[in-house]
């Protein structure tokens, strides 16, 4: 059937990125794929969730259907009671429940933007924003986060991309994949643009990095050899596995892999038109003297400190990362700023969400009990992430690979000596069966960046690291 009857925005990506293609081929051929980008906490062999977690169909009353577009009143109250224990003072009327942050984004983009309007997004950051924006017919204009020993906001780049069709500024703090948080001063600089701020804080309660700064590359890498990954948690050789297709909540969709910013040698078709508008600075290293990294106080949650109390903003969070339960599908928006803004936004959200009613009754009823388990989830995550990060730093200590400093989150950014990280990722998969995500995918403008998951079992890290070093050495 011809494609003329379908909309442009639902057009399928033409072809897979060569990295995704290779992964599919390997899986079909039953060759091992060690997924070092693995971001699914439910298959990471964590001591979580515990038996004490409430089964979602435990009580008949939890199946009661009471359509409530903003979320069940009892669930919203349970949420704000939990947030109050963290020092967040949010009235239940300003807490709106959704099934996922993607659903929150879709509705906020619809409510703040007309088709053709734009939203400013950080770069590098979470690649799914491109897809979410495309579905809403809006443009994303990336502003730059720069790195100079620590990450900082390049406020000049915000100025450069902001125009009369800009409707909101999105911040991700802690950011994925850099794990960096904004400073209070940076947030004020963004607020000064006078636009609503959408603050993605899904990693705000993620364990903090307990380790110090990046290793300074010293010696040349030793030659390694292909590995078997006896301990691997995420090897898959099953052709029926859908791994090459990047489950939406954890991995970038395949069209994002065809990032237009990706180096030419990666032949993926670039549907993604995100560009860094300023060429003044490199996100890892060379940046103008005027753009010093900040030394200000870094914030973990916007609402906690009332940093934006007088400024229109929405904070996004949810169980997906807080409780490492992406499968139960429950997130929330906390509306903040002037009362008139919150009230208008609440009414519009109620109107929009009434047509969707996507949050399930069982999770709504169980929300309070689920949140009571948050400390256990955080402990399980902290233990895994800390040991995986320590193993990573040890494995690359004194080598040509640096592990960038990070504050929080589930990923680590590796600085590697290569001109094209997509090509390197393809070689690593082809020769060693190791799947990592190239930095180009997240919008890193400098080549030589790989992103790896800290949910990886620490026992698997040394072998994976040796393979990467060998791959670099053999280039």
Ligand X SMILES: Cc1ncc(COP(=O)(O)O)c(C=O)c1O
Q: Where does this chain bind ligand X (CB under 6 A)? A: 100-102, 126, 172, 176, 200, 202, 249-250, 318, 320, 326, 331
Number of other CB atoms surrounding residue 424 within 10 Å: 26
Q: Are 223 and 24 in contact (CB under 8 A)?
A: no
In the complex, residue closest to ligand X by CB: 320
Looking at the Cβ atoms of 44 and 465, the one nearer to ligand X is 44
Looking at the Cβ atoms of 105 and 147, the one nearer to ligand X is 105
283: closest CA among 415, 386, 161, 371?
A: 415
Distance in Å, CB of 398 to ligand X, minimum: 31
For 277, residues 6+ apart whose C-beta sits below 8 A from its C-beta are 141, 142, 157, 160, 161
CA atoms within 13 A on the CB side of 401: 28
Q: How far apart are CA 332 and CA 101, in angstroms?
A: 7
Looking at the Cβ atoms of 451 and 471, the one nearer to ligand X is 451
- Give the pair of three-digit tokens for residue 417: 């000596």
Q: How far apart are CA 125 and CA 451, in angstroms?
A: 11
Distance in Å, CB of 443 to ligand X, minimum: 13
Distance in Å, CB of 269 to ligand X, minimum: 24
Looking at the Cβ atoms of 331 and 447, the one nearer to ligand X is 331
Host H or E run for residue 368: helix 361-371
- Give the pair of three-digit tokens for residue 170: 């999105």
Q: Are 454 and 324 in contact (CB under 8 A)?
A: no
Distance in Å, CB of 173 to ligand X, minimum: 9
Looking at the Cβ atoms of 97 and 471, the one nearer to ligand X is 97
- 309-323: buried (b, 16+ CB within 10 Å) or exposed (e) per residue? eebbbbbbbbbbbbb
Looking at the Cβ atoms of 191 and 202, the one nearer to ligand X is 202
Distance in Å, CB of 127 to ligand X, minimum: 9
Q: In what order do the strands lie in the sheet with 331-336?
A: 95-98, 331-336, 313-318, 197-200, 166-172, 118-123, 139-147, 151-153
Distance in Å, CB of 225 to ligand X, minimum: 33
Looking at the Cβ atoms of 79 and 470, the one nearer to ligand X is 79
Q: How far apart are CA 410 and CA 351, in angstroms?
A: 35
Distance in Å, CB of 126 to ligand X, minimum: 4
CA distances from 240 to 85, 247, 389 (A): 45, 14, 32
Looking at the Cβ atoms of 126 and 147, the one nearer to ligand X is 126
Distance in Å, CB of 307 to ligand X, minimum: 19
């Amino acid at each position: 059937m011809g494609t003329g009857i379908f909309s442009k925005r639902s057009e399928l990506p033409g072809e897979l990125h060569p990295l995704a293609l290779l992964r599919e081929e390997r899986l079909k051929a039953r060759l091992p794929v060690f997924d070092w980008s693995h971001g699914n906490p439910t298959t990471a062999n964590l001591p979580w969730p515990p038996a004490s977690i409430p089964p979602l169909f435990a009580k008949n009353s939890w199946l009661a259907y009471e359509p409530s577009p903003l979320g069940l009143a009892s669930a919203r109250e349970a949420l704000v009671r939990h947030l109050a224990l963290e020092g967040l003072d949010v009235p239940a009327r300003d807490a709106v429940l959704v099934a996922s942050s993607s659903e929150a984004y879709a509705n906020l983009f619809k409510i703040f933007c007309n088709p053709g309007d734009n939203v400013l997004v950080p770069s590098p950051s979470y690649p799914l924003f491109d897809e979410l924006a495309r579905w809403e017919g809006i443009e994303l204009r990336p502003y730059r986060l720069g790195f100079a020993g620590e990450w900082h906001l390049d406020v000049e780049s915000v100025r450069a991309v902001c125009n009369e069709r800009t409707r909101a500024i999105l911040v991700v703090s802690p950011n994925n994949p850099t794990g960096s948080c904004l400073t209070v001063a940076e947030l004020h600089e963004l607020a000064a643009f006078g636009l609503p701020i959408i603050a993605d804080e899904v990693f705000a309660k993620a364990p903090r990095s307990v380790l110090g700064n990046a290793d300074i590359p010293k010696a040349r890498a030793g030659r390694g050899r292909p590995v078997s990954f006896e301990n691997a948690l995420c090897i898959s050789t099953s052709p029926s596995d859908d791994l090459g297709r990047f489950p939406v909540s954890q991995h970038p969709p395949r069209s994002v892999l065809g990032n237009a910013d990706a180096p030419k040698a990666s032949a993926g078709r670039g549907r993604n038109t995100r560009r860094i508008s300023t060429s003044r600075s490199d996100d890892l290293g060379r940046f103008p003297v005027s753009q010093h990294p900040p030394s200000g106080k870094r914030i973990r949650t916007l609402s906690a400190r009332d940093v934006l109390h007088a400024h229109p903003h929405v904070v996004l969070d949810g169980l997906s990362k807080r409780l490492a339960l992406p499968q139960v599908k429950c997130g929330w928006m906390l509306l903040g700023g002037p009362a008139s803004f919150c009230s208008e936004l609440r009414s519009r959200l109620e109107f929009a969400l009434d047509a969707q009613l996507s949050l399930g009754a069982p999770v709504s009823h169980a929300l309070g009990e689920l949140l009571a388990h948050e400390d256990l989830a955080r402990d399980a995550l902290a233990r895994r992430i800390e040991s995986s990060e320590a193993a990573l730093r040890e494995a690359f200590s004194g080598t040509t690979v640096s592990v960038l400093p990070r504050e929080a989150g589930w990923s680590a950014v590796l600085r590697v000596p290569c001109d094209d990280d997509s090509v390197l990722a393809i070689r690593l998969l082809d020769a060693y069966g190791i799947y990592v995500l190239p930095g180009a995918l997240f919008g890193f403008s400098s080549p030589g960046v790989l992103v790896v998951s800290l949910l990886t079992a620490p026992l698997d890290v040394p072998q994976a690291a040796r393979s990467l070093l060998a791959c670099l050495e053999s280039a």
